[in-house]
């Protein structure tokens, strides 16, 4: 159920259900607030939910998308307001411009599929962080490792890359740091979380490079 495109309706709905939200957050260590900004629910409710989570001491990360340009100026302006409000209530926020998705999507992608792609990017953002803790690896990270990077981090970015052949790890790294999904440059970044996934032929030398 949406908020009819009205952020105020979304905000009031979240505020009126604070007790229910807090019940859902009980016992939670880390929360992801994902939303497509510009509408009523994401723009209005997300900052309220994030604020409740952070006040409860929960490590809170926002992963949101800016609307496609074809969705209009009004929605874009609402999105910027929502992002600014959410930034004040989360430990870290990753913002992805939907228009950037068009640089990696087929030119003939149906409009309905474009929105599916935007939702999938949000999923990848959440899984990219949560899998570091929940999926066993050669070098395992725990919640404290992730918290040390994301707690009070402010603006964060996410890049994803794949590679094949002899230089696959280098290629994957280059693609990740130059990804069109990145809203800016990683220059000046104070902390980095890197997750390398490969097959049984992945060598120590390749990872070190």
What average pLDDT does the segment 181-191 reach? 73
* pLDDT higher than threshold 80 for residue 24: yes
Q: Is residue 154 part of a domain?
A: yes
Least confident of 102-106, 140-144, 163-167: 102-106
- Torsion-angle region of residue 27: left (phi > 0), alpha (psi -120 to 50) or beta? left
Counting the structural domains of the chain, the total is 1
Q: What is the pTM of this model?
A: 0.81
CATH number at residue 39: 3.40.50.1440
Instruction: Please tell me the predicted confidence (pLDDT) of residue 121.
Output: 78
Q: Is residue 129 part of a domain?
A: yes
The range of the structural domain enclosing residue 137 comes to 7-208
Q: Is residue 1 part of a domain?
A: no
Give pLDDT tens digits for 75-85: 999 999 999 99
Q: What is the mean pLDDT of the chain?
A: 85
């Amino acid at each position: 159920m949406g908020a009819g495109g009205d952020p105020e309706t979304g905000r009031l709905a979240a505020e009126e259900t604070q007790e229910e939200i807090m019940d859902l957050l009980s016992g939670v260590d880390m929360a992801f607030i994902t939303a497509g900004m510009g509408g009523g629910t994401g723009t209005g409710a997300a900052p309220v939910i994030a604020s409740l989570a952070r006040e409860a001491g929960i490590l809170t990360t926002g992963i949101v998308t800016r609307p496609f340009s074809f969705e209009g100026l009004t929605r874009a302006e609402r999105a910027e307001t929502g992002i600014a409000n959410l930034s004040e209530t989360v430990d870290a926020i990753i913002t992805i411009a939907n228009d950037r998705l068009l640089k990696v999507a087929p030119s003939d992608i149906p409009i309905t599929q474009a929105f599916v792609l935007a939702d999938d990017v949000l999923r990848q953002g959440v899984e990219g962080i949560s899998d570091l803790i929940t999926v066993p690896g050669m070098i395992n990270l725990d919640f404290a490792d992730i918290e040390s990077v994301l707690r009070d981090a402010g603006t964060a970015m996410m890049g994803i890359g794949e590679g094949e052949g002899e230089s696959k790890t280098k290629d994957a790294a280059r693609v990740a740091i130059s990804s069109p999904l990145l809203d800016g440059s990683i220059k000046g970044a104070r902390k980095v979380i890197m997750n390398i996934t490969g097959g049984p032929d992945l060598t120590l030398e390749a990872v070190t490079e």
